[in-house]
Chain A
Amino acid sequence: MTTMAAAMPMTRTDEDLVARSKTGDTESFNQLIKRWERPIFALAYRTLGREEDARDVTQETFLRAFRALSGFKGDAKFSSWLYRIALNLCRDLMRKERRAPLVAVPEGVEVEDLAAERGPTETVEDLAARAELGREVAKAMEFLPVEQRQAIILKEYHGLTFQEIADLMRCPLSTVKTRVYQGLATLRKQLGEQLTPRRES
């Protein structure tokens, strides 16, 4: 089985890999993980603000998907199904943490992490400024209710359409648009100081 899976081309569709996984082909499921772990991690990281929590959610998402694979009928896309599991896990974790006395501060990304992707004309100061802006955005995101936050993350960082987000979050299209609009309006307010110089420049 492993040899066969290793010889499989990388262009297999999700549906194909899901079908193979259902027959017990673990390597096919591992290919699905490889394909989707980064987007799921990104979604969880931006929703929760902490790398370790995001890792836990990513692991739990794939674990749940694996265990429930036989029940997945393929009505929705596999990726949508994964996103929904991850969103629910994030929401559960946030609700649980809300009861905790301490509010988590988002980690953001350090300058060292950005150094690897530095452009040819970008100075260390530019990198530091980018890292600082990233932290400001992360902080501003903390002000959003989880539904608004998730809607914006799905729209901005995952490129989903409003209708896809509505299907994922199981709410009307108008609700998604309201969440995104209100979220952006709050961010505009929170990031006001950072936005002003950008407008002037």
Chain B
Amino acid sequence: MSHIADNHDALLDYLYEEGDPAERLKIAKHLQECAACSVAVLEFQNVRGMLRYWTQPGSELGFRVVQDNAFSPASVASPVSGAAVAVEQGARSGVWPLWVRSTSQRMPWLQAAAAVLLFVAGMAVSQVAVDYEDGRVVFSGRSAQPVGNTRGSSITLPPQAASDVASPNAGVAPQPVPADRDPMDTELLLQRVRAMIDQSEQRQQRELALRLSQVTREVDTQHQADLLRIQQDFGHQQEATMDYLVRTSGGAK
């Protein structure tokens, strides 16, 4: 058999397990005997193994197309051209569909909203009362007794900090958070937080599945490389043994 180091087609078919299985078997046998080809294959397999280290960022994408008015794709095709900005501008006029970018691109807003949401939910769960008194936001622990009768340690924020907590928008007056929150509001908040947590868990499970498949492929690649190396070493040993036998038998004569 010719050296597959010189036969790129055969080399690639063997590396990627494509082509005729019988041919690949021949190559495997050839590799057991040919050190040069074994080294060539091993080097390419090592390159492939290294490629696994180049992972993509695991950032959220979440692209969606949102329909503004009744339309069909065909009706959108002609007037909009160019980048998504044109579509977004078109969407503002209420004619074309709005193309919403990935959620993570609006992270400052979303993060702020999520932080406030979690913060308020945390307050509700931990029974911390938030009052707004004389331009200050007052946090206090709340017992089973009515608010005002027994208050725990209070943390008082200056007005500026209170503004930061209440709203991410500079220049917008902070709205007081009622101390006696409606149980329905709290329930709604908790539901939203639970939904967010569920979404996060689902995303993590998806990513975990992807990572697992990637690791499996890495292990396979390494396994093949190891097998090849073992075969190669075995071949060398055989050669050495043969050399030794030839030498010793020659010496005996």
Contacts and interface: CB of A to CB of B under 8 A. Distances in A.
A148 interface: no
A187 interface: yes
Contacts of A108: 54
Interface residues on B, range: 35 or more
A155 B43 contact: no
Contact of A33 (B8, B42, B63): B63
A184 B44 contact: yes
Given A63-B99, A137-B50, A161-B18, A38 B73 contact: no
Contacts of A66: 65, 73, 76, 97
A7 to B, nearest CB: 18
A124 interface: no
A48 to B, nearest CB: 11
Contacts of A59: 63, 84, 99, 101-102
Interface residues of A, number: 61
Question: Most B CB atoms within 10 A — which of A63, A68, A109, A130?
Answer: A63
A103 B205 CA distance: 37
B63 A188 contact: no
Contact of B53 (A23, A46, A130, A177): A130
A73 interface: no
Contacts of B73: 21-22, 24, 66-70
Given A67-B80, A70-B74, A181-B12, 8 more contacts: A33-B64, A46-B54, A59-B63, A62-B63, A117-B211, A141-B54, A178-B8, A198-B50
Interface of B: 8-9, 11-12, 16, 18, 42-44, 46-51, 53-59, 61-67, 70-74, 76-77, 80, 83-84, 87, 97, 99, 101-102, 105, 207-208, 210-211
